[in-house]
């Protein structure tokens, strides 16, 4: 799966997801650290990459209607240390059938995953 990780996720996550067979780009590695949300979003869409973030600015389903983009995963952990984020995302990408999430709006918490499909 082609992924774009927002700058609010640990860089370690990129190597973990790459080791699971995903094609991962990160905002910081592309010189987008500190860029406006819209710029990072446009970059992900131009590359047809599924966007992974903790930024709640991407949580509005009316603005990010499933099927109108390459997909969004919002990570919502109660205590989002880098270790917990990497661990939970590694678990999600190993257990879930993420290849079916293209164009979907997904929210992952410690306990569950919610997928809104087009």
Q: What is the mean pLDDT of residues 95-110?
A: 97
pLDDT score of 13 more than 90:
yes
Structural domain boundaries in the chain: 2-116
100: helix, strand or coil: helix
Local structure of residue 102 (DSSP, 8 states): T
As a whole number of angstroms, the distance between CA 75 and CA 89 comes to 8
38: left (phi over 0), alpha (psi -120 to 50) or beta: alpha
Q: What are phi and psi of 70, to 5 degrees?
A: -80, -10
Q: How confident is the model at residue 68 (pLDDT cuts 50, 70, 90)?
A: very high
Q: What are phi and psi of 16, to 5 degrees?
A: -65, -45
pLDDT given at position 80: 81
Local structure of residue 108 (DSSP, 8 states): E
Are 51 and 63 contacting, i.e. CB atoms less than 8 angstroms apart? no
CB atoms within 10 A of CB 54: 16
């Amino acid at each position: 799966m082609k992924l774009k990780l927002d700058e609010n996720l640990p860089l370690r996550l990129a190597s973990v997801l790459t080791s699971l067979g995903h094609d991962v780009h990160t905002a910081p590695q592309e010189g987008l650290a500190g860029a406006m949300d819209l710029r990072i979003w446009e970059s992900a869409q131009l590359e047809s990459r599924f966007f992974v973030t903790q930024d709640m600015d991407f949580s509005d389903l009316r603005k990010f209607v499933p099927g109108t983009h390459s997909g969004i995963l919002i990570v919502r952990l109660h205590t989002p240390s880098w270790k917990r984020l990497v661990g939970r995302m590694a678990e999600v990408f190993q257990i879930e059938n993420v290849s079916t999430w293209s164009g979907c709006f997904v929210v992952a918490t410690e306990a569950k995953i919610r997928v809104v499909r087009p």
